[in-house]
Structure formats: C-alpha cells, structure tokens
Amino acid sequence: MDYLPIFCQLQHKACLLVGGGEVAERKARLLLDAGARLTVNARQFNNQFRVWAEFGRLTLVEGEFYADLLAEKWLVIAATNSVEVNALVYQSANQQRVFCNVVDDPKRASFIMPSIIDRSPIMVAVSSGGKAPVLARLLREKLEAMLPQHLGQLANLAGSLRKRVKQRFANISTRRRFWEKLFVHHRLAQSLANNDTEFVKRHVKQLFGERQEAQGEVVLVGAGPGDAGLLTLKGLQQIQQADVVVYDRLVSDEIMALVRRDAERIFVGKRAGYHCVPQEQINQILLDHAQRGLRVVRLKGGDPFIFGRGGEELETLAEAGIPFSVVPGITAASGCSAYSGIPLTHRDHAQSVRLVTGHAKTDGELDWAQLVTEHQTLVFYMGLNQAPVIQQQLLAHGVEASMPIALIENGTSTRQRVIEGELAQLGALAAQATSPTLIIVGSVVSLRSKLNWFTCRDSPSDLSKMA
C-alpha cells in the first residue's frame, strides 16, 4: 500500500494553496467545498480567485512563497507552473510536518488528491498513487454510472436513526440485520429521492417493530482454486455479510482480504497428512457459532461438494436443525486445467472426465479397472503422496507408459507451476512438486503446447534424466 486512504475533516481548518492559475482554481474548489479556511498565495491570480476573495470565501496573499505562510496550516497544495517553487513548498512543508501535495509530481507528495465520486455524505475516492491518473478517472466514471444519485439521502436517513437503532437492538449482530434490511429495500432510496416521507416513516416503523434476533445460519461457500477473480459474485456477497468466517489452507490471502473487516476469522487449515483441526471439531465450531445466532460462512477452497467434505459438515447442521445453504465454487479440476491450457474434454481426445480423490476416508482400493477407459481424462485431487501408486496401478491396468500427464501446483495463482511428462515418470515428477497439486492424466495434456494462455512457471520433464 503506497498511500493510506483517509478522508480529512477540513471544516474551518486553515489550509494553504500556492498557485493562482486554472489548476490551482480546481484545487481551490475542492478545498472550499470541504469547508476549509483557505489562504491562496501566488504572484498572479485568475479572476475567480478575486471573486472568491471579494465574497470573503478565501484570503489572497500576493507575491512570492515564503515558509511562514505554513504556520498553523493543516495541509498545503502546491499548484504553480514552477518546478522550483513547488519543490520549495514541499521542502518547507516537510520541515514543518504539514501534509503537502504537489500537483502532477507524486514524488513530492505526502498526500494525494484522488478522483472523487461525491454522494455526500457517501464519498468514494479512486487513486492510482499518481502513476495512472487517466485510469483512475476512467474508473471513477464507471462508478459514477453505477452509483445512484440519491445514495446520500439514504445515508442521511441512516445517520438520523443510529441512536434509535442502538437503543432498540442490544447487540451488533441484530443491529447489522436491521441496517441490511433498511438498505436493501427496493423502494426506500427512490422514495427518499421523491420526498415520499409517509412511505419512509411507515417502512422505518415496520423495521423497528420487527424482532431482528434470528436463528443462526451457515453458508457453505466455495472459494475457487486460488485466483480471487474466480470467486463467484454470490460468494463475495456472503463473505462480506458474515459474522464468522471459518476457512482452510486452500483459501488464498487475496480472497481473505475480501472478507468483511470486522468478521471473526477462524482458521481450520488442513494439509495432506496433517489436520490442525479435526473434521469433527470443525463441524462443532460451525454448530456452536450458529447456535449463538450468528451468520457463519464456511469458506472452502474449490467447490465444497467436490472432495471438500461439505456434505459431512452439513449433515451435522441438519441433525441439529440449523438452517444452511450452499454457494458452489469453481472446482480445482476446472480452474487449474483452464489456467494450464488443458481442456478436460475434447472430441479428438476425451469424451469423458473422471474426478478422483487421491485418498479416501478409509484405506479402500479404487476400482482401477473402471478408471482405465479409452478417451477419458483422469484428474486426481490430493494425489501427490499416492503418485507412485497411481502410476503403478494405471500401468498395470493397461494405460500406456507414454500417456501425457501434468502436475499443476498452486493452480490459477501467480505461483502456478506446471510440470509435464509421461505416466512412466509420474512418481518421480511428483517428488518435485509441493501441495496443493492437481494431477491430470490423459492425451488432452498434449494440447497444452497450443492452448496455454496463462503466464506461469513451466517445468517440462527431461526424459533423458528419467531413463
């Protein structure tokens, strides 16, 4: 993070603007709108500055800049056409510990002026840290089109109700439910814009009359294989509304950064051969928090119903009468194969695909004879430790030693690595990989040389070394 985003309260606070041209005029408008007590210093001023001064909205100091102008100022903006003057302002401000912005010079800026979407009191700021101001402006324009003009009125209503809500509802969870119902109503914002006070009063009265206490619930959310962009919209909505998020090792840091900031986070990470929290205890954690009336999100890598033990966790909730729902996620087979340029099915290579777990709940054998079928792709989840056995069994059941294989490590992330080879090399190649790694076996792997589109680290096998 190059800059910490903050919103400054400048009402009646002394600020300094150095410059009297068009650029300075734009900055002056922003400072005046924010209620700053503004002093403007320049050798010459545009007419607008003199008009503002005549009406007492700001003070003009004509002449060269001098450091004493910074006395008791909260912040300063340098917007002259002189590099030397701007540099002097910045240096003087630093010496006096006054926040300073130099227009179009991010290296000389202790604060920056972002692009602003104003729905007062709702304010949205977009910044590129001075690196791409045109991009920031384009993003602002998109947000302008998305955000209704009357959002500010909705925020003002919420502000007028805060004290009543705090008195009426005892805890944070019930208050949050009140606010969610208020903000998502399909007619309320428009009624405010239309000055329909009777409807607004009626709806607010109804909300205060409802009991916000509710039985807890659990939402099972698939986080996808790693890339935060693959999280579904519904999954994003759920993690931003959760009271508690229970997550495991396969949920990326980028996705966890999207979780509502004040939600409780409980890590129950698991990796092959080691469970930091046993499955039975995870089930109990979900149950305990839901029984306290909380909204719990169980966030799992990939899809929770594909080798994610989601069914086991929901069985516990169902037996206890806890409401639950499921938000599917992109499973590792789909995400990792797509980001590796390997189609799981193809008319010339495979007409079916089998998803296979590398280890089952018990030590029972897989039906290898059923797995070995022509024109079929095999995808092994959690198969690194069992790779030598997978190689041995597939060869024993008639799969050619030269069958293409791929091991996809940290699939869809910026750390993705793909190791290609042949079935006869699987055990040896698996020793080079780290979990989480997906194993794909099938002739579709040969298409990767044509279809790979995602930049990642490749580790092609060296047949001579394996011989």
Instruction: Give the number of other CB atoms < 10 A from CB of residue 159.
Output: 10
Non-local CB neighbours of 53 within 8 Å, separated by 6+ positions: 59, 60
Catalytic residue selected from 227, 243, 248, 303: 248
Instruction: Answer yes or no: are the C-beta atoms of 100 and 75 closer than 8 Å.
Output: yes
Instruction: Give the number of other CB atoms < 10 A from CB of residue 264.
Output: 14
For residue 388, give both structure tokens: 């030598």
* Number of residues in the chain: 467
Report the DSSP beta bridge partners of residue 197: none
Non-local CB neighbours of 339 within 8 Å, separated by 6+ positions: 225, 227, 408, 411, 412, 416, 454, 456
361 is catalytic: no
248 is catalytic: yes
For the chain, the straight-line distance linking the first and the last C-alpha, in angstroms and rounded, comes to: 49
Q: What's the burial of 440, exposed, middle or buried (CB within 10 Å: 0-12/13-18/19+)?
A: buried
Instruction: Give the number of other CB atoms < 10 A from CB of residue 436.
Output: 23
Q: What are the residue numbers of the active site?
A: 248, 270
